[in-house]
Amino acid sequence: MYPDLFSIGPFSVHSFGLMMAIAFIAAGISAFYEFRRKGLDTESIYWLVIAAAVGGLVGSKINYLIQHPDELRDSPLAAAFSGAGLVWYGGVIGGAIAALLVVRLYRLSWVRVLDAAAPAMAIGYAFGRIGCFLNGDDYGQPSHLPWALQFPKGSPPTPPGIAVQPTQLYESFSSVVIFLILMYVLRGRLKRPGAMISAYLVMAGTERFLVEFVRMHRDGQLQAQVISVIVAVLAAGALVLIYKRRSQDQDQPDPAR
């Protein structure tokens, strides 16, 4: 809707870039308080956020180019360094790899870090999807629903007068709900290591799988749904195992008796 917010001379402020910056700041603030609550080193937050940002951008671009090798073949420099073409799952993988390197450097427990970062990932994704909305990316299918929106011509590339579902806002709203559930419903209940990040992945994978049904068809849609199902199922399995192991531990007789 508003890809360019304003310009000062040759310098332009893009809505997507601004919202991505806000996303990482919001995620960093959430992670800071969770790190402090869990007794983790809060100084590592700054490097974790930077690593996740850089790794996420690189990973999302690599994933996009894997899906669109023709763009890399036709114009490799433009394809590699343009601001367009970012795939979320590639960003998650790239950001996670870079962040885990920082975790290893600071000798932190990666499971505890992931649990602390789960709400941060949710709120960061919510702001990121608002950036997609303002930029006119990742829109939905044509629709006559009351809340369907008409984007300016060329953003997204649909004919003038055609309204589409605002799937970016669906995901943003869903992520805010996931953040609130994690913070105010599950945080006090899921205290076993790995439980919070597993719960987040179940909800995030389910949300992404469902929204793909109403998103405009494009290359990589099936891949996104398959990955979403795999992530949600594996995370649900991990959550069951975490609490099944806890139940078995409680049933074991105390050798000291």
Q: What are phi and psi of 146, to 5 degrees?
A: -60, -30
Per residue of the chain (257 residues), what is the pLDDT tens digit?
A: 676 777 777 677 778 888 988 999 999 999 999 999 999 989 899 999 999 888 888 887 787 777 777 766 777 666 565 555 566 667 778 888 898 899 999 999 999 999 999 999 999 999 999 988 888 878 899 899 999 988 776 565 566 678 899 999 999 999 999 999 999 999 999 999 999 999 999 999 999 999 999 998 666 678 889 989 999 999 999 999 998 875 555 545 544 44
d(CA 13, CA 7): 6
Q: What pLDDT is stored for residue 256 in this prediction?
A: 44
- Per the CB < 8 A criterion, the answer to whether 49 and 117 are in contact is no
- Per the CB < 8 A criterion, the answer to whether 202 and 123 are in contact is no
Model-level pTM? 0.85
Residue 229 makes CB contacts below 8 A (sequence gap 6+) with: 205, 209
Q: Give the chain's end-to-end CA distance (angstroms, integer).
A: 68
Q: What pLDDT is stored for residue 111 in this prediction?
A: 94
How do the domains of the chain map onto residue ranges?
4-40+109-251
Apex 208 CA angle, 207 and 212, nearest 5: 115
Three-state DSSP string of the chain: CCCEEEEECCEEEEHHHHHHHHHHHHHHHHHHHHHHHHCCCCCHHHHHHHHHHHHHHHHHHHHHHHHCHHHHHHCHHHHHHCCCCCCHHHHHHHHHHHHHHHHHHCCCCHHHHHHHHHHHHHHHHHHHHHHHHHHCCCCECECCCCCCECCCCCCCCCCCCCCECCHHHHHHHHHHHHHHHHHHHHCCCCCCCCHHHHHHHHHHHHHHHHHCCCECCCCCHHHHHHHHHHHHHHHHHHHHHHHHHHHHHHHCCCCCC
Provide the token pair at 14: 């893009």
Provide the token pair at 251: 């049933």
Residue 130 makes CB contacts below 8 A (sequence gap 6+) with: 19, 168, 169, 172
